[in-house]
Amino acid sequence: MVSVQAKVRMALLRASGQKRFYDNASALHHRLPRHQKPSMARPPRNVRRRCEVERHEVNGFPCYTFRPRGGAAASDLHVLHLHGGGYVEQVEKHHWRYAADLVTRLGCAVTLPVYPLVPHHDHTATIPMVQAAYDGITAKRVAVTGDSAGGALALAIAQNLRADGQPQPERLILYSPWLDVLLANPVSELLDETDPMLGIEGLREAGRMYAEGTDPHDPRVSPIHADLTGLAPITLFIGTRDVLLPDCRRFRAQAREAGTEVDYREYPGMFHNWLMQAIPEGREAMNHVERALRRRPVSARCAPRPGSSPTPG
């Protein structure tokens, strides 16, 4: 059963006009400025009160690391989170809150890159920046989480590491990941009618700009086409009211066929990235995330990286 709180949240999403941003290419371009305000790229005051915050630059873009207040992190885990927003939306309040929540729950460090956005940049700037942010973390235990477009970026990092013969992260956790910039699965068209947040045509326009200059089937741009062999264990969350659902189901089958561990969590009636919302289903999912991140790896391919520091970077 879908909770009353979740139903109210979906009604508010429809009333707010969030879905209209993704109605079509014209609507997306018209509304871009309000979704890319510079003020959004800084942690809000309430998050700064909860955590110690360190700002540094990666490839000329801001990157924030959050740690527990009043001393060293209680955990040797460092989480890199890659925010969503169709590669066109800036970090939002729920992303900053998510980072602070992980710090509170786990006593770990969390890094959140403010990566380059479309249309001023494309994948040729975004992927190298988040890769550099990952490479700059010196902790023994590193996990990568990503929501929506950030889920695809997490998989791009994992593919890059495999190509370079480097150890994988301890775990990849993907929240409503956007796996195909073309959204070619016809079932997504049907789900567009019930998805309260995302729209097919606007997403395709964002994906077109992000993939500028390369084949949109490139596996680092659209990981639905990736070879998933040898990647880190994956936890994937998706709701049945999300236009991205069909590709997530296909991805689950591909991961299992490739022999990659996948913990697939499909929530009936849930909308895009519901985990970061203050609803019962969000708390339930985040409890599972906490358990997954507390578990130590058993796979040799996720061993600590050579030269890593015993403390979070």
Instruction: Check if the beta carbon of residue 313 is closer than 8 Å to that of residue 138.
Output: yes
pTM of the predicted model, to two decimals?
Answer: 0.93
Instruction: Give residue 300's pLDDT.
Output: 40
User: For residue 43, which phi and psi values (nearest 5 degrees)?
Assistant: -60, 135
Q: For the chain, percent helix, then strand, then coil, each to nearest 5?
A: 45, 15, 40
Task: Tell me the pLDDT tens digit for each residue of 252-261.
Answer: 999 999 999 9
222 has pLDDT over 50: yes
pLDDT at 301 over 50: no
| pLDDT tens by residue, 155-193 | 999 999 999 999 999 999 999 999 999 999 999 999 999
Reported as a pLDDT band with limits 50, 70 and 90, residue 17 is: confident
Structure tokens at 16: 């707010």
Q: What is the structure's pLDDT at 18?
A: 84
**Residues 60-89, mean pLDDT to the nearest whole number:** 91
Give the DSSP letter string of 240-267: TT-TTHHHHHHHHHHHHHTT--EEEEEE
- Per-residue model confidence as pLDDT tens digits over 242-254: 999 999 999 999 9
Quick one: pLDDT at residue 72? 65
Cα(187)–Cα(177) distance, rounded to whole angstroms? 16
Contact assessment for residue 103 and residue 56, using Cβ atoms and an 8 Å cutoff: no
Q: Are 172 and 232 in contact (CB under 8 A)?
A: yes
How large is the average pLDDT for residues 45-73? 91
Tokens in use for 187? 């079932």
pLDDT band, very low/low/confident/very high, at 296 (cuts 50, 70, 90): confident
The tokens describing 47, both together, are: 């998050």
| Position 73 confidence tier, pLDDT thresholds 50, 70, 90 | low
In our burial notation (b when 16+ CB lie closer than 10 A, e otherwise), range 20-53 reads: ebbbeeebbeebbeebbeeebebbeeebbebbeb
Using CA atoms, how far apart are residues 303 and 202, in angstroms rounded to an integer? 40
Pick the CATH number of 4-295 from 3.40.50.1820, 3.40.190.290, 2.40.30.10, 3.40.30.10: 3.40.50.1820
**Residue 195 burial (10 A CB sphere; 0-12, 13-18, 19+):** buried
Q: What is the pLDDT of residues 113-131, one digit of tens each?
A: 999 999 999 999 999 999 9
Q: Where are the alpha helices (DSSP H) in the chain?
A: 4-16, 25-35, 45-50, 93-106, 123-135, 149-163, 186-191, 200-210, 245-257, 280-294
At 7 the pLDDT is 96
- The reported pLDDT for the residue numbered 40 is 92
- What is the mean pLDDT of the segment spanning 31-48? 93
Taken in order 235, 260, 136, 297, is the CA torsion positive or negative? positive
Q: For residue 310, name the pLDDT band (cuts at 50, 70, 90).
A: very low
Can you give the residue ranges of every domain in the chain?
A: 4-295
d(C-alpha 203, C-alpha 50), whole Å: 34
Q: How far apart are CA 55 and CA 43, in angstroms?
A: 10
